[in-house]
Amino acid sequence: MRHSSRRLICLAFLFFVLSAIPARAGDAPWVEVRSEHFTVITDAGEKNGRRVADRFEQMRTIFGLLFGRTKINQPVPLEIIAFRNTKEIRQYSSMFKGKVVEVAGFFQQGEDKDFIAVDMSQEDNWRTVFHEYAHVLLNSNYQRTAPWFDEGFAEFFSSTKVSPGEIEVGPSVPDADFLMQGNRLHLLELFQVQHHSETYNVTGERREMFYVQSWLVVHYLLDTGRMRETAKYFLLTNEQKMPVAEAVQSAYGVSPAELEKTILNYLRAGKLTVLRYTGKDQIALTYNATARPLDQLEVRAQLADLHLHSQDYGALAMKEFEEVLREDPKQVEAQRGLGYAYLRNQELDKAGEHFRAAAKLGSKDARVYYYSAVLLQRTGSRMTSPEFAENLQRAIELDPQYADAYALLGTSLMNSGDVAGGEENMRRAIELSPRNEFYFLNYAAALLNQQKVDEAQTLLASVANSSNPQAAERAKDMLQRIEQYKTMATLRDKTDGFTVRPREATGRTAASQGAMEDAKVAEPTPEPTPKPNPGPVRTPSAVKYLTGTLVGVDCSSPPLAMLSVTSGGQTWRMKVPDSDHVIVIGADKFSCSWGKKKVALNYRPTGTAEGNVVSLEIQ
């Protein structure tokens, strides 16, 4: 993420001495505006609150249009705080050498909640905010890619301009002229940059060139409709570990040098397309929203929560929560916030006390019940206890997109003997957060418990190539153990040792916040797991990739389903062994009524124009 040396992402870099204590709420009335997908709290007036909600709804819709999706995941809630002036937002901005960084807007990522803060008195308060919001959308809705794609799309997305009656998508970014002046990276170099690369991390001309070239490449791919080829490219590089040059040739049909020349000609010829949407097109310019006034204690609790999620204000946030609760012990937001603060500090008894208080007050926050289940797990309670499952089911009821709750419930069900139920919930977690590799590890364990070794190996091979060393190490260990079992021709009773403890928050690292520990591999759980006794394990064929049009689905022999897919003038017969449990991206679940839909399949060949589907994406 650009400018991300800290968790707080800033738009400007002017420094001021901190001269004011944190605002309790200001002297202007605060209002909460809720649209279908966003919550905005602001003291800049209801009209401005609605305008902010509209802007985010528009950007969310644009993301769906660019990727051809009507359903967009949001597994972590996002709260937007619109401050009416610079003085107020400064009191929540990051610190640098004892001074406050003045910002026009920032994005703050958290384990339980994300925040975006904007200064409504500043005109340019969106670009970096939307750059970071693009990363949130990609992480929850698109397969693992590479830094050039993620940063290029974030730059493309953040350059969107909204004016009365019209939205422009794809205008040039401010640094576009840099492409004609600096020393460009060759496309092969650009595609080989990783998160640990010097080019990505060291400020300078090369890093700036990386961002602007990434923007150009993604602009070209989106504009020329080459996203299917791009999906194939990432399958080849990330899952099959094909060298970059070979993957470019295979996916795009040209060499890296030829693709680079085509993209530069696209720029020089002035062919960059700017998409324009008005109210007459497929995007709304205003959205339905409701508004309500906030009382002072509620505002103070919300602002304390923002402080809690900053590296610089954690201790202050706890005092702010405590002050609110001294005035009103029934303030549910403060009970929940203080409970999470104690959980981050590993004070489990106090955390449980406040989460129970929030639940007793009737909290509608799914995190209250999820973290209550986490506390039961961490204080030695069996994951199969009724209270544990009830908390997780309540969390999912309140937030049907809560990926962590599905993942933890899946592990619980698997340990209690409901392997199919465990697999279903783990699969749902993956659908909601497709880049969380720890979810894939747990899902692979569930597949092994059901003797689905081929599918498990496919998932593990992908994670083994991860840039996350912890996940990669565990995946390699599991693959090595499978190979050992192959020599014995049985998995016997070792599958219970594969279970990986899910992230106790999300797939994100909490270390920088002093929060809960990063994901680690759990010791084998004491609960008994079914002991399958499969026959000899076959070496699976390589997974391949196919895009085409789904023209028919035959579900006459459930749970088996047969797909008819046309691609390249040929009709493929693709078998889905278990339609109830196949990984589906881009839809809520597998449907026997699909027809004439663009699809992308990962599959294992079984014959000429035939294969077994590992996963499918509705495009």
* Cβ pair 87, 50 in contact under 8 A: no
The pLDDT value given to residue 53: 93
CA atoms within 13 A on the CB side of 5: 8
Nearest by Cα to 69 from 592, 599, 506, 618: 618
Q: How far is CA 441 from the centre of its chain?
A: 17
In the structure encoding, which two tokens stand for residue 253, read together?
């049909």
Report the SS3 class of residue 69.
coil
Q: How far is CA 535 from the centre of its chain?
A: 38
The pLDDT value given to residue 408: 93
The pLDDT value given to residue 361: 97
Domain with CATH 3.40.30 in the chain: 1-144+282-294
Sign of CA dihedral 9, 15, 18, 24: negative
Q: How far is CA 373 from the centre of its chain?
A: 22
- Superfamily of domain 544-618 in CATH is Nucleic acid-binding proteins (2.40.50.140)
* Cβ pair 40, 80 in contact under 8 A: yes
* Cβ pair 15, 103 in contact under 8 A: no
Q: Report the C-alpha dihedral over residues 410, 411, 413, 416, rounded to 10 degrees.
A: 170
Residue with tokens 């528009």: 58
The pLDDT value given to residue 1: 59
The pLDDT value given to residue 452: 82
The pLDDT value given to residue 505: 36
The pLDDT value given to residue 520: 30
Residue with tokens 């981050």: 344
Q: Which residues contact 409 (CB under 8 A, 6 or more apart)?
A: 389, 392, 393, 396, 425
The pLDDT value given to residue 50: 94
Domain with CATH 2.40.50.140 in the chain: 544-618
Cβ neighbours, 10 Å, residue 34: 16
Q: Which residues contact 575 (CB under 8 A, 6 or more apart)?
A: 560, 561, 562, 563, 606, 610, 611, 612, 613
The pLDDT value given to residue 132: 85
The pLDDT value given to residue 195: 83
Positions of the chain with pLDDT under 50: 3-25, 490-497, 499, 501-540
In the structure encoding, which two tokens stand for residue 353, read together?
């006390």
Residue type, 473: E
Tell me yes or no: is domain 1-144+282-294 CATH 3.15.10: no
The pLDDT value given to residue 307: 95
Residue with tokens 């997305």: 157
